[in-house]
Structure 1
Amino acid sequence: MIFDLHTHHQRCGHAQGSVRDYISAALDKNLAYIGISDHTPFFAEPEDHPDPGACMAKSDFPAYIREVLALKQEFAGQIDVLLGVEADFIPDCLDLYRGILQSYPFDYIIGSVHEFAGISLYDSDYWDQLTREAKLEVKNSYYNHVAQSAAAGLYDILGHVDALNRYFPGYADLHPETAENMLKTIAEHGIAMEINSSDDLWVPDHWLLERALHYGVKVTFGSDAHEPERVGEHFSDIRKHLLDIGFREWAVFKNRERIMLPL
């Protein structure tokens, strides 16, 4: 059964295509479930739309919900359209985000770390000028931040864990003990970890997934597609990869309830 729980669309300002375009692409590829999970607005900022290239406006959020719910009804019987959202993990704003997100009928919420300890996920220049010891501190800080997000009680899925592997050269060679603590926390709180295929370097990598299996972490799949044609990208290869590691099931979500599907 093919599914994809992580997609974006034009409202976020850095993706192409409408929500309907992503559903149509999913139908063309015979998906059983298609999750729409665009970035939340910056709810903590006073402006309605402080960064149009990063996420939707606060005033547009209700329209996003209405559109996905309407399309869910329109395509019922053809494909399960799931209402999701990708929310940044911002520790100081958890109560604000919790209050807003819990007022809508989401099927799932993805929690993603894009910045931690003042460091951007994409700032390879910062990483390059660090010593090995400082790089290890950064990785420890990141894993601690992800563990905090798993324990926050807000998310169903953790998005693109270890995405720094794509941007920070040599990152994958560091295996700190905090990785084990992070995975234990994820497992203890019953959060699913996404296998993200937004480029050819899937994350998490083989090593972290082996450790995740050891601790009983549940996994799911998301292409993180920003163009409709990339919906479901690498699904079959990632399925085989997980089977080779030893996983036998993965998760989808409806009404904030986890459903385990056989690989």
Structure 2
Amino acid sequence: MKFDLHTHHDRCGHAKGKIRDYIEAAVAADFSVIGISDHSPFFGSVEDQPMPGIAMARSEFPNYIAEVLQLKAEFAGKIDVLLGVESDYFPEFADIYRKQYSFYDFDYIIGSVHITGGVSIFNRTRWKGLSDQQQIEHKEEYYRLIQESAKSGMFQILGHIDAMKGFYPAFTHIPTPKVDETLKVIGEEGVAIEINTSGKTKDVGGWYPSDDILERALHYGVEVTFGSDSHIPERIGDDWDLVSNRLKEIGFTQWVYYKNKQRQVVAL
């Protein structure tokens, strides 16, 4: 069976298409499960939409939930539509986010670190002029936050855990033991990581995370799942078969998805 847990739509301001478009694309591609997981509002602000073009408005969140549940009922018997959300992880606002999510029955929540030191991980200029030591510090701060997110208990899945390489491919080769330390924590916490195929749309190409991280994730007993991170319906399930085959080559025998926050195992 095929599943894709990471999708967006036009509410976030930087994706195209309606939720229905993504579900219909998944049906056409013969997927059994499609997870809807648009960017959560920025709950750290009292403003309705302090980050237009990045995340949906707070006032839209209930409408988002209601639409997914309505489509879940409409498409029952054709495809299993899951209610998810991609949540930023901000330690200082974690309790606020946790409370907001407690009002809804999510099938899963993806925790992603998109900002460190007040700067987007995708900011092409953040690496300019940094010494080798400063680059290590930036990378280690990123993985420190990912570790915290794994320990927070808020998430079933961690999103694109090496996406900082997206517009800076040299990121992969910045030396630090923090990556292995983080994988060990993730394995101990029982949180899954996604193979996210949207890296192919960035300068780095390929997927998140890299093969060497996946090999070490297997060593540390980390579960894996699949997410295209589609921002257009046409990318639903992108590279599914290639990812499946690569995971088997690495040594994985199964991957997982989540329904009612319960782990569902799918053999590879």
TM score, norm. by length of structure 1: 0.98
Q: Where does residue 256 of structure 2 map in the other structure?
A: 251
The total of aligned residue pairs comes to 263
Report the residue type matching 1:180 in the other structure.
D
1:135 partner SS: helix
Cα pair 2:163 2:199 within 8 Å, conserved: no
The aligned amino acid for 1:86 is: E
Which residue number in structure 1 is paired with residue 20 of structure 2? 20
Name which of 227, 231, 237 aligns with 2:232.
227
Letter in 2 for 1:239: S
Matched residue, 1:145: 145
1:126 is displaced (CA, Å) by: 1.8
CA distance in 2, matches of 1:6, 1:166: 17
Deviation of 1:133 after TM superposition, in Å, equals 1.8
1:119, distance to aligned residue in structure 2 (A) = 3.2
1:251 alignment partner, SS class: strand
State the match for 1:80 in structure 2. 80
Q: Gapped runs of 5+ residues in structure 2?
A: 201-205
Task: Give me the whole-angstrom Cα distance separating, in 2, the residues matched to 1:52 and 1:137.
Answer: 30
Q: Is the 8 A contact 1:33 1:80 kept in 2?
A: yes
Matching residue of 2:188: 188
The sequence identity of aligned pairs, in percent, is: 50
In 2, Cα distance between equivalents of 1:124 and 1:199: 15
Confirm or deny: 8 A CA contact 1:250 1:261 kept in the other structure: yes
Conservation of the 8 A alpha-carbon contact between 2:199 and 2:208: no
Aligned to 1:206: 211
Q: Provide structure 1 residue ranges, at least 5 long, that are not aligned to the other structure.
A: none
Partner of 2:70: 70
Question: Which residue does 1:9 correspond to in 2?
Answer: 9
- SS for the counterpart of 2:20 is helix
Secondary structure of the 2:237 match is coil
Q: Which residue of 1 aligns with 2:119?
A: 119
Match of 1:36 in 2: 36
> Could you say what secondary structure the match of 1:195 adopts?
strand
Q: Can you list the C-alpha shifts for 1:139-174, whole angstroms capped at 9, x where unaligned?
A: 111111110110011001000110012222311112
Per-residue Cα deviation, 1:210-229 (whole angstroms, up to 9, x for no partner): 11000000000100000011
Q: Distance in 2 between matches of 1:175 and 1:210?
A: 17
Q: One-letter code of the match for 1:106?
A: F
**2:268 counterpart of 1:241:** no
Distance 2:53 2:158 in 1: 23
CA separation in 1, counterparts of 2:241 and 2:131? 39
Deviation at 1:127, TM superposition (A): 0.8
2:34, 2:259 → 1: CA distance? 11
1:117-148 CA deviation, whole Å, 9 max, x = no partner?
A: 33321122121321222111111111111101
Over the residues paired in the alignment, what is the CA RMSD in angstroms?
1.0
- d(CA) in 1 for partners of 2:214, 2:57: 35
Shift in CA distance, 52/117, structure 1 to aligned 2, threshold 3 Å:
closer
Aligned residue for 1:83, secondary structure, equals: strand
User: TM-score, normalization: structure 2?
Assistant: 0.96
1:217 counterpart (217, 222, 226): 222
Judge conservation of contact 1:89–1:111 (CA < 8 Å) in 2: yes
Describe the SS at the equivalent of 2:8. Answer: coil
Contact 1:15-1:227 at 8 Å conserved across structures: yes
The residue type paired with residue 100 of structure 1 is: Q
CA displacement 1:60-100 (0-9 Å, x = unmatched):
11011011001111111110000000000000111111011
User: Once the 2 structures are TM-superposed, how far is the Cα of residue 199 of structure 1 from its aligned partner?
Assistant: 3.4
One-letter amino acid of the counterpart of residue 248, structure 1: T
Structure 2: distance between partners of 1:56 and 1:11: 5
